[in-house]
Structure 1
């Protein structure tokens, strides 16, 4: 190891796109900063480098206002003096999905590719905790390091470093290891990412500055290379830094002061790190803090944002991309890389930590709603186009089997698991275009005067399904042909509700609405119910199918019995309400307050739906809760009293809280779906749903980023905060090794396993706050989340391993909507008819290689009635499916899985489409080793990506 110390000054600004000011306020300052940076680089060759905070989006934001500066900016990026990437945005890792984290990295690399340079720095300066699989993801992307600010050191509120003995690493350098064993060199901002800001150019001031700051850095550094971050949040650049470096070098001739960059700094550190570096494993979410704050409660700030984000992510990665891939492979619609990239970027503009965490001023989060909508609208349109293109290309002769008057429709299961489920769709049974009649009213009258036949639902094998069919009357609609003006029409609609059973993963199946007289009495007599031989029965306030018995108690809570082994869980979905005198970052219950619950209230319970394949019970609980915190809270916020020192309580004034819960049980299902609605009129409080497991366990499992993370029920000894809330993605479950209880959710990212002797899972449904918190006083009245709220979650008991039992597959499939479109002569074909198939080929099964799962495939002129794109050994395995898409670089079909287990697993995947070769790939979708077998052994906790080279993209 060299004796002489080197001070690496890395100029940067930590650019939160939006936070304590609206986006455009920050945007104005960004433009000013970038103008100044370019001028400085032009004028001072000794100002060598600037790190653009790891985000390629900053370039977009700047050029949106200053397109005239593109040549100057891009010149310095190519020259390496401005360094950016590898991320598109600096996201919150735990509140964005596994695939969203990968898209962020992938799009960052794609944006930087034209420049030929990219900062290969695993940059996580301000994430509110770090995902455990980051080292594996970074290694697959060719990045061997991670630079981060949180998760392995005692960090107090407002980023203050706390003196303590409990450092997981004695150094600012360490080895960070993922569960699969992947390792990167971890570098901690031990003195935060502003420890080198505003270096004095005056000798006397510089001496005092460096005497203090050098000692602080040397306390943690394991090598002579000391990191000093020259900048901070929205920090203007220090234009006299070269002079400050010259003065510092004269004051300390035994130290090299250099204007550095991360590439040079990390290379120098890596050569001299000692052999005794600590190995830090998995998630970086240390509770060795001031005992109160890890910023985890941002997971429950503005829950509505989390719900919209979950919906947007699910739509893109689990619906639109798979459907677009299916349509591409069928040769009926080109894969829209450009539009998908736009939709992802628009969504990811909501993923920076201060945005998705809900910890900004109200104006920021209002703008986020528009971005969520814009991204979803693009995804919805692309998904619909892909599904309709496939439905339009299904062989007409095959559709004709149902006879005249039938209305065929296609159901797509874009989940990675075979599933059954209740489908609701609206179908057109007749339509008349406006030119066909005198006026829309007359057309509607003609349509509604025609008697409808009695319909049944039938599949291609002749099986008849129990269904509810409702006449909706005449409605307006329109076609948008590619070759002429819009075509309005009036159409007779019916709503069809039935249960599709055992639809393969990543597949479609065609059904038809058929006049009953065409089916015949014999077929109707053997009508299938919703799940083979299973039905749902209702007895009072009890729902029962072949697998579960579900009873709603007088207080509205649920008792669930798993019939196979007799395991019973009682008191599920009791509601808990407490005060919150914290802020958007941190939940703080008033001192000495006793939580309110609905345990002893009386609920009104009634049946709202009952048929052979689904039943729904509704519970209504009427509650009175405190209206807000008291006047003390207002004063304490104004005076910036730290949240740990606040003495406020809740007011004695109350407001009503009426909670309406609908419990749904479907035939053949082991999942109880829960939909809870309420009108929030209270402020400064938290509402949770409680699920006592009664299971003996000292840990639990939670869906995190590419893993089911194992977490202790009891926090670290330094943790004095009474609340031990944590992040989740799709589910959390407690198991004693033989049986378990899993709670799935849709956009409810905060939970806690209570230390109450019951290992109760508490899921946060709402947290109402009134201030941003952190370094100033910023009122956020809209964070109180007043008004109508609806949340959705599900209860899934299981036995044995959560993955092999199917419980995790159910949890992952639960939020994914079915896609249903009409086929046949009444379908909206005009929009797709003019679209050119990929490569100009006809959409036939022979040319595209689409494999039919049905006994009879389509003819040479169309697609088969059923098809599966990828099949895999989804039963009795610890693997989870993650993605089906096309690579923007190669058009390879990308399929991804990951192993949830610490044991090896076998992947047996079969592509239902013609392909020439298959490669092992990585998170950047590059072709790696050639795969010669369809069977593959997947190592413990491994993320595995396959790239299939098809005939279209060879």
Structure 2
């Protein structure tokens, strides 16, 4: 017999911002809920506390409608009666980046600070599992505890445990075995209240005994309002519960009486810590990710529901993290105003798409239409900021050619290529050039004068209009004017033509002028090319010579009129290989428009080899099977041959938005309806590419009984482009699918010629080693959800036997599985299955064989069938050793695939930045840079790096921006350790600045702050 059981009851609401209703529909209920809460707080002092779901966006949403209530909210938050934060909103953990989680907490804590003290608890009550690095992220904000429900299995026997991240960082976890609503909607009469309370307490203690004599109950659930009158009921109940004859008992403990009070999660945690210390209790330690579906639905198939959402989220995360933030920082250091408000707004639009009901794709169709709008708004702001910053940085670079190409003097056009990933790196780049002359004989060179692979992809010019002007009228203009300087008559002609033709007064100019024969001898045709004044010009000498030719025409009496035909300057899209790009920086190349064949310098990179069904660079040979369209890849470095790669396999899915469920009698389609059409799309010199086009005849839908696929068929065209580049150790694949089928899952398989027990998958701030298959316990029928072998990833999965390996990289395709046997595979042969589409039409169903009960309401969601055109990008990297080998080749190429370079054309000019420059250089190359940004206090800049290796390394940082001091900072970017490093505020002496050296633990995330 133990002492009295103390219960802390936490009134709260769990607020899914959008789900089976839209955001605006739920907001109406939110306004009602907070209105009621404020009135209760005002009239019932005993209603001491209420928690607003650990997120601050509810305040933002409420105050947009009720701005007059801000001071009342601030009062109760400052008094500690309403608890807010630390999150901006409740995120999904596996489908968003680590930087998104950090921005989420940064935004939430900043918002909370406007109202009062935030709740410093990692409140994550409903996430579909938990990432391994969450303890380190929380501790980075000074948060040393977490509250969890899903993802915890039989390894936890009590309601509290410690959870450890890969670097050894720990937090105390409060486990909610019955979820966040174990005491929701309590009866408000004392007897009924006590009856319900005793039942709840008994269930909790039997299931997961508390480590102390304190128990946490959660009085709330999805979209529930506070219970008015609850304090009075508790007061009356306590008079009866204090009687020793009313005891709480379980199979493990028996207590003499119960006392219950309204309280908070921080109060409960404080009591737990105190009693653990008093009793010297040793809590169980859990390490790594938490993904058990033993007691609660994990809902893993949300990884592939509405795949377009995952692709969009990944694209916008990379845009903000790796382009907007580094480039706006750079432009700020060069003197531009920093667009803090716009950067924050773009992040807010993105974060608002990251709650699990949104990014997981498991809401009604209208919700996800609105997700698309937010993604677009984020992208529009981001791209505009990038464009502005690129121009500022490019204008500040020295772009004078280091040495003229023989016979061409300084007649060259600089092209600056930006690489916001690791380096040095070779990458294909493309840019549109406005120039009057053809580039078919152009040569592109680097700073050493070496020629790089280059080709013109296409030319285009737009006809603006035509106008005939009498020669005498122009001659009179010439007679009254003074044209003693070259170009003066061109300017007058430009104004005359613009006015006569009604061309808008844009900042353009004549960049090319040609005199051509006309239909009759007394006419002359004048072709004029216009271009914006900030773009490339044509040949200036030729332009002035043409001006003199027109002036001479005006003196010839036999010429009656001039026919002016005006065009927009020729746009020529060119593609080239940018070599040796510096990391997180930019490099200049020079384009010479017309070079004689005998003056072309030797090509820097090895040539590509192509045939109608194969392509080859210096690293790989890729051959296409003419019957199946699958690939055979030979790794020239190791001699390994991978056969049967890139086989599409389509199966049925009668599940819902949360859970994959194959029909009882499934049919897999693994061959196209007819042999594919194979085309050599490009034979170099920049890209070697094959196009594989096939028709897949798939069942149109499932049967009416949902136990098999239907009898009707539809054609689904699938086209893949396979590309190799010189100097790039990666095989790129771009696939387009026209989805006309329903109730199915489409995956692409990559078999391996060896067996493995574990697979390496990039996760959040880590690379996670997982077993090939999930453990399947004997009592699986008792589990809330059947364990599955599909797992989450970020940008790559690697399958290695220790000697050789195959990495499959992706852009925004987060679901993978390692399969054994099946279509196209030998018995027991292993292959990686990458999910492209999972198409269903019910938000939730209650008749699935793979899950007990529903996961939400049964709403019809036909757009989740994902009809129409879809595009996917992924790549292959065969390699030696494991994913760690060859200086982190796999990690570097995964970043490169997700961060295509950007190129911009500029003029020759001097500048304060060199022609090749970096924001920062980090080594060893296995380390991953996740952020380069202006610091939150606007006083400096930040570089965040993590170590994905399983051992400690010495990291070296070479800053490329001016700074005199460096600190190790927390995730709020507050300094807590000054480094013994002396930098420089003089940008001209940065090359003499010593590097920073620091040991990084295995799995450690470190934030460096420069001032």
Q: Which TM-score bucket, shorter chain as reference?
A: 0.7 to 0.9
Match of 1:176 in 2: 163
Q: Specify whether residues 401 and 27 from structure 1 end up closer, same or farther in structure 2 by C-alpha distance, changes over 3 A only.
A: farther
Report the alpha carbon displacement of residue 585 of structure 1 after superposing the two structures with TM: 0.1
Residues 72/116 of structure 1: CA separation in 2 closer, same or farther (3 Å cut): closer
Where does residue 301 of structure 1 map in the other structure? 305
Question: Structure 2 vs 1, CA of residues 289 and 4 (structure 1 numbering), >3 Å: closer, same or farther?
Answer: closer
Q: CA separation in 2, counterparts of 1:60 and 1:256?
A: 36
> Who is 1:317 aligned against?
321
Q: Distance in 2 between matches of 1:281 and 1:470?
A: 52
Paired residue total: 853
| Contact 2:455/2:686 (<8 A) preserved | no
Deviation digits for residues 358-394 of structure 1, max 9, x if unmatched? 0000010000000000001111111111111111223
Describe the SS at the equivalent of 2:72: helix
Partner of 1:231: 220
CA distance in 1, matches of 2:920, 2:31: 47
Shift, 1:289, TM fit: 4.7
Query: Which residue among 814, 817, 820 is the counterpart of 1:752?
Result: 817
Q: CA deviation at 1:938?
A: 0.6
Q: Is 2:178 the partner of 1:191? A: yes
User: Conserved in 2, the CA contact under 8 Å of 1:180 and 1:941?
Assistant: yes
- Alpha-carbon shift at residue 527 of structure 1 (Å): 3.2
After superposition, the C-alpha distances for 1:87-134 in whole angstroms (9 at most, x for unaligned) are 111110100012111111111122223334111010111100101011
Tell me which residue corresponds to 2:913.
Answer: 863
The farther-off stretch of 364-373 and 794-803 is 794-803
1:463 maps to what in 2?
450
Match for residue 764 of structure 1? 835
Give the structure 1 partner of residue 434 of structure 2.
428
Secondary structure at the counterpart of residue 117 of structure 2 = coil
Corresponding residue SS for 1:15: coil
1:873 counterpart = 2:946: no
Q: Does 1:553 align with 2:634?
A: no
Whether 1:735 and 2:800 are equivalent positions in the alignment is yes
Alignment of 1:48-59 (within 5 A): 48-59=48-59
Counterpart Cα distance in 2 of 1:335 and 1:348: 21
* Aligned mates of 2:634, 2:236 — CA distance in 1: 75
Change (3 A) 1:451 1:823: closer
Residues 209-237 of structure 1 deviation map (CA, whole Å, 9 limit, x = unaligned):
01201112223222111111110000111
Matches within 5 A, 1:442-521: 454-470=441-457, 472-475=459-462, 487=507, 489=532, 490-517=568-595
Structure 1 distance, partners of 2:342, 2:884, is 35
Q: Which has the larger radius of gyration?
A: 2
**Whole-angstrom distance in 2 between the partners of 1:808 and 1:600:** 37
Structure 2 counterpart of 1:883: 931
Distance 1:624 1:723 in 2: 28
Structure 1 residue 600: Cα displacement: 8.9
Unaligned runs of 5+ in 2: 243-256, 465-503, 509-531, 533-567, 822-827, 845-854, 982-995
Distance 1:920 1:451, change over 3 A: closer
Q: C-alpha separation between the residues in 1 aligned to 2:149 and 2:226? A: 21
Distance of 1:343 and 1:222 partners within structure 2: 44
Cα 1:473/1:576, change in 2 over 3 Å:
closer
Secondary structure of residue in 2 paired with 1:687? strand
TM-score, length of structure 1 as denominator length = 0.86
Give distance in 2, aligned partners of 1:476 and 1:224: 83
Report if aligned partners of 2:452, 2:577 keep a CA contact under 8 Å in 1.
Answer: yes
Alpha carbons of structure 1 residues 929 and 250: separation in structure 2 relative to 1, 3 Å = same
State the match for 2:475 in structure 1: none
Structure 1's 789 and 469: CA in aligned 2 closer, same or farther, altered over 3 A?
same
Q: Which stretch shows the higher mean deviation, 120-129 or 492-501?
A: 492-501
**2:330 paired residue number:** 326
| C-alpha contact 1:332 1:393 (8 A) present in aligned 2 | no
User: Is 1:611–2:684 an aligned residue pair?
Assistant: yes
Matched, 1:67 2:117: no
Task: Report the CA distance shift for 1:3/1:945 in structure 2 as closer, same or farther (over 3 A).
Answer: same
- Deviation at 1:883? 1.2
Which of 526, 529, 541 is 2:602 aligned to? 526
In structure 1, runs of 5+ residues without a counterpart are: 154-166, 431-449, 478-483, 634-647, 826-857, 950-954
Conserved? CA contact 1:906–1:936, under 8 Å: yes
Structure 2 distance, partners of 1:78, 1:917, is 36
- Residue in structure 1 matched with residue 349 of structure 2 by the alignment: 346
The answer for the alignment partner of 2:877 in structure 1 is 796
Looking at structure 1, the residues matched to 119 and 771 of structure 2 have their Cα atoms a distance apart, in angstroms, of 36
Give the aligned partner of residue 572 of structure 1.
645
Residue of 555, 563, 575 corresponding to 2:636: 563
TM-score between both structures, scaled by the size of structure 2: 0.82
Alignment partner of 1:664 out of 708, 723, 727:
723
Contact 1:605 1:619 in 2 (8 A): yes
Which residue of 192, 197, 212 maps to 1:210?
Answer: 197
Alignment match of 2:668 (pick from 590, 595, 620) = 595
For 1:539 and 1:868, locate their aligned partners in 2 and report how far apart those are by CA, in whole Å.
39
Separation of aligned partners in 2, 1:475 and 1:276:
76
Deviation at 1:749, TM superposition (A): 1.0
Matching residue of 2:538: none
Where 1:80 maps in the other structure, the secondary structure is coil
Which of 270, 289, 292 is matched with 1:286 structurally? 292
Distance 1:717 1:931 in 2: 49
Residues 65, 546 of structure 1: CA spacing in aligned structure 2 closer, same or farther, 3 A cutoff? same
Counterpart CA distance in 2 for 1:384 and 1:705 is 29
Q: CA deviation at 1:174?
A: 0.7
Q: Deviations over 1:313-372 (max 9, x none)?
A: 01110111121222223x142332221111001100000010000000001000000000
Are residues 693 and 29 of structure 1, via their aligned partners in 2, closer, same or farther at CA, if it must alter by over 3 Å? same
Identify if the C-alpha distance between structure 1 residues 552 and 397 changes in structure 2 by more than 3 Å, giving closer, same or farther: closer
Is the contact between residue 920 and residue 930 of structure 1 (CA under 8 Å) also seen in structure 2?
A: yes
Q: Secondary structure at the match of 2:456?
A: strand
> Which secondary structure state, in structure 1, belongs to the residue aligned with residue 570 of structure 2?
strand
Residues 453 and 682 (structure 1 numbering): CA distance in 2 closer, same or farther, change over 3 Å?
Answer: closer
Supply the distance in 1 between the matched residues of 2:75 and 2:884 (Cα, whole angstroms).
Answer: 51
Aligned-pair CA distance for 1:56: 1.2
**How far did residue 400 of structure 1 move?**
10
